[in-house]
Amino acid sequence: MPDTTRSFGARVARFRTVNAWWIQIACYGASMALLVAVWEALGNSFGVLFVPFSTTVVRLWELLHSGPLLPALLVSGKLYLVTLTINIVVGVGLGLALARVSLIAAAFERYIFILYATPTIALVPFISVLFGFEFGPRVLVAVLISIFPILLGTMEGARSIPRQHLDVAAIFGSTERQLWRDVIVPYVTPYAMSGIKQSIALSMAGTLVAEFFLNPDGVAAVLLQGTTIVDSGWVLAVTLFIAIIAVLLVGIGELIERYLVKWRKASVG
């Protein structure tokens, strides 16, 4: 609608809708540029405790190229992958079992919630007294931190199956296999996947906690090493490195979710 006496506010609003895409990119760019600029400026003024962005990047390159970071990444990566695999297998399996057998669920549900709410770090001394400091207890700590979204998500998914669907399947004499293929899997998958998406990011937190608190190892040990020798360039570089990996993992989770939404639309419509 053309009107000649547009107010300033209306003109701003129009500018914002027409140029939304460019403003968005400009905002992202400006925020990144500002971060680098402020980091660079402050780094030069504070001295040893806060090195500039450029120094951090150089430091990261050194740590990756000839330092301890890549071997440590392999150690952490192994723990991460084992943790995530156990989370998916045990989380989905246990979640289905708990949801399908209501008495077991009634028996153990509140203890699972208590375990979920309890800060796992506080359990580390007890776990290490029972099982030691090796790979096994590390996996246990990491799993205790990151399995719950999958476990609880799967349970919720299995409970969301309408009673009628199960009855209809029973009336038409569907076999156990058909029941799973046609009713249970389609209902549970979205819930389990959203749990897995969260667990992809959370398993990394679990990995780091296990490495920090059970005899430092992997990337966490490299990070602590920097604190011990009071080398802020070292600590900033490793923190930046962990942040980049974290953002990538969250990105992978979001890609999986997007793919899943498409898949669901395709299978429903």
Figure out which of the listed residues 246, 257, 260, 264 binds another protein, where binding follows CB under 8 A.
246
Please give the Cα distance from 60 to 54 (Å, whole number).
10
Q: Specify the stretch interacting with another protein by CB under 8 A; choose among 36-44, 110-118, 133-141, 151-159.
A: 110-118
Residue with tokens 């000839």: 66
Q: Minimum distance from CB of 246 to another protein (Å)?
A: 4
Are 93 and 243 contacting, i.e. CB atoms less than 8 angstroms apart? no
Figure out which of the listed residues 96, 143, 144, 209 binds another protein, where binding follows CB under 8 A.
209
Question: Taken in order 221, 224, 229, 235, is the CA torsion positive or negative?
Answer: positive
Positions 65 through 104 that interact with another protein (CB under 8 A): 102-104
Please give the Cα distance from 56 to 200 (Å, whole number).
27
Figure out which of the listed residues 42, 70, 230, 255 binds another protein, where binding follows CB under 8 A.
230
Q: Is 131 exposed, middle or buried (0-12, 13-18, 19+ CB in 10 A)?
A: middle
How many residues form the binding site for another protein (CB under 8 A)? 58
Are 207 and 26 contacting, i.e. CB atoms less than 8 angstroms apart? no
Contact status: 12 vs another protein (CB under 8 A)? no
Please give the Cα distance from 213 to 77 (Å, whole number).
17
Please give the Cα distance from 79 to 19 (Å, whole number).
46
Positions 144 through 183 that interact with another protein (CB under 8 A): none
Q: How many CB atoms lie within 10 A of CB 169?
A: 19
Choose between 169 and 211: whose C-beta lies nearer to another protein.
211
Q: Minimum distance from CB of 86 to another protein (Å)?
A: 18
Q: Specify the stretch interacting with another protein by CB under 8 A; choose among 66-74, 122-130, 178-186, 255-263.
A: 122-130
Figure out which of the listed residues 5, 7, 66, 110 binds another protein, where binding follows CB under 8 A.
110
Q: Minimum distance from CB of 59 to another protein (Å)?
A: 14
CA angle 153, 155, 156 (to 5 degrees): 65
* Interacting residues toward another protein by CB under 8 A: 16, 20, 23-24, 27-28, 30-32, 35, 49-50, 102-104, 106-111, 113-114, 117-126, 128-130, 201, 204-205, 208-209, 212-213, 223-224, 226-227, 230, 232, 235-236, 239, 242-243, 246-247, 249-250
